[in-house]
Amino acid sequence: MNSDPRRARFERLAPTVIDAVRRYLARRTDPATADDVLSETLLICWRRLDEMPGEHLPWAYAVARNCLANAERAHRRRFRLLARISRLDPPPTVVDGPSPPDGDLTGALSRMRPGDAELLRLWAWEDLTPAGIAVVLGITANAASIRLHRARQRLRDELTGKTGPAAGHDRSTEGSRT
């Protein structure tokens, strides 16, 4: 296989993918993990360049999402191991780091189901259409559209302080026997 046209195609796509995926990861994880996941994502994009569709960005987001999930699983395994070790041999002092700022939107997203929050981030931060979101999440465009509508409603309710099953609905007593 001649690698020159393949390399040229990758070099054309890479800057767009790098910038978009870097921003995608920066909003979801720490800088060191983002760099590692970006590297892994680019490696997979190179290996699977022939499978990359014309709409390459949603495909690259899906790859990055999977790589990030793998990195987070590895982080949890390391954390569990460190917790076991610290029970056997506790460190002399523990230093707490600064806590991140908690704005209204950030707080509302953190209280939402992770799937809904991710869907909203893909729509608002990555500027994807329901069809693009569908590619990233591996669902149909119709399912993405429905889930996005519901997630936006849940976010609206979360931001306005509405909770419970009646959130967003005014209960009418008209026609009922009380």
The predicted-structure confidence for 57-100, as pLDDT tens digits, reads as follows: 999 999 999 999 999 999 899 888 877 776 776 655 544 544 44
102-107, Cβ contacts within 8 angstroms, sequence gap of 24 or more: 104/159, 105/159
Q: For 112-159, how does the pLDDT look when each residue is reduced to its tens digit (9 = 90+)? A: 999 998 999 899 888 899 999 999 999 999 999 999 999 999 988 888
**Could you tell me the pTM of the whole model?**
0.60
Q: How confident is the model at residue 43 (pLDDT cuts 50, 70, 90)?
A: very high
Domains defined along the chain, listed by start: 1-91 (1.10.1740), 101-163 (1.10.10.10)
Render the burial of 48-77: b for 16+ CB within 10 Å, e for the rest: eeeebeeebbbbbbbbbbbbbeebeeeeee
Q: How confident is the model at residue 101 (pLDDT cuts 50, 70, 90)?
A: very low
